[in-house]
Amino acid sequence: MKIEGPLILGKFVERPNRFIAMVQVGDEIVRSHLPDPGRLKELLITGADLLLRPAPKGSERKTKYSTVMVRHEGQLISLVSALPNRFVLESLEESSLPMLTNYKLVQPEVSHGNHRFDFLLKDRNGTPFYLEVKSVTYVENGLAKFPDAVTERGARHAKALAQLVKEGNGAGILFVCQRSDANRFEPMWNQDPEFAKVLLAAKEAGVGVWCITTQVSETEMRFGKEIPVNLTPPE
């Protein structure tokens, strides 16, 4: 998937709130929109290299830039939490995700009851399959974890997907790691034990749970590999 450019280089200074990064661009300190509201403390370190996208000319936005990527330990990591949805949409259209090759895309952004899911698919028998996509940026010693902040919305979605399976539908959650250095995935039990418990219950109810890595450059995001998922609670 192509990533829109051009991107310019900046240095992270501070984060006054969840959605704003102060960034040094040349001799100027600018306010840049931060699309990922997660904690990101291990990535947004003073002096870290960021790649920014200037706002379109004539835009009335309060921020003149958007923070797109951070360079961390020699690799680029996407900070756009909506990017995995675009990536998965393109991948579904191309049938290039190995765990979903037996499904066809019906439509993105579908409502069911009080919930809105990222994608509606169907299997070869025409059975509906509801898919949620979650962005992952936290990796430590090869272990990808989600979430890095409490996600009540994520827990509600996992419960709703489990209920859909009980009603005869298919459902799945795909964690997309916006970096290439993960080799396994676990929920972050210490950060959000409720989500972790609900995710495990959803898996036991028949909801598919997968995680993939991606290779990110300044110009594109590509599929990396599927990695093992471990939902066993810590002792």
Which H/E stretch holds residue 203?
helix 193-205
Name the nearest CA neighbour of 171 among 117, 229, 126. 117
- What's the CATH code, domain 83-227? 3.40.1350.60
Helix (H, G, I), strand (E, B) or coil at 215: strand
What is residue 37's predicted lDDT score, i.e. its pLDDT? 86
What is residue 89's predicted lDDT score, i.e. its pLDDT? 97
Residue 19 is classified by DSSP as T
What is residue 135's predicted lDDT score, i.e. its pLDDT? 96
- Amino acid letter, 10: G
Name residue, tokens 């995935």: 185
Distance CA 2, CA 70 (A): 17
What is residue 41's predicted lDDT score, i.e. its pLDDT? 92
Whether 171 contacts 162, CB under 8 Å: yes
What is residue 113's predicted lDDT score, i.e. its pLDDT? 83
| CATH fold label, 8-78 | OB fold (Dihydrolipoamide Acetyltransferase, E2P) (2.40.50)
**What are the residue ranges spanned by the domains of the chain?**
8-78, 83-227
Per-residue pLDDT of the chain (235 residues; tens, 9 = 90+): 999 989 999 999 999 999 999 999 999 999 999 999 888 999 999 999 999 999 988 788 889 999 999 999 999 999 999 999 999 999 999 999 999 999 999 999 999 888 899 999 999 999 999 999 999 999 999 999 999 889 999 999 999 999 999 999 999 999 999 999 999 999 999 999 999 999 999 999 999 999 999 999 999 999 999 999 999 999 8
Name residue, tokens 């990017």: 83
What is residue 149's predicted lDDT score, i.e. its pLDDT? 86
Whether 219 contacts 1, CB under 8 Å: no
What is residue 104's predicted lDDT score, i.e. its pLDDT? 96
Q: Which pair of tokens denotes residue 155? A: 């827990």
Q: Which pair of tokens denotes residue 145? A: 């974890």
What is residue 14's predicted lDDT score, i.e. its pLDDT? 97
- HSE of 161, CA atoms in CB hemisphere, 13 A: 34
Name residue, tokens 């499904």: 103
What is residue 38's predicted lDDT score, i.e. its pLDDT? 86
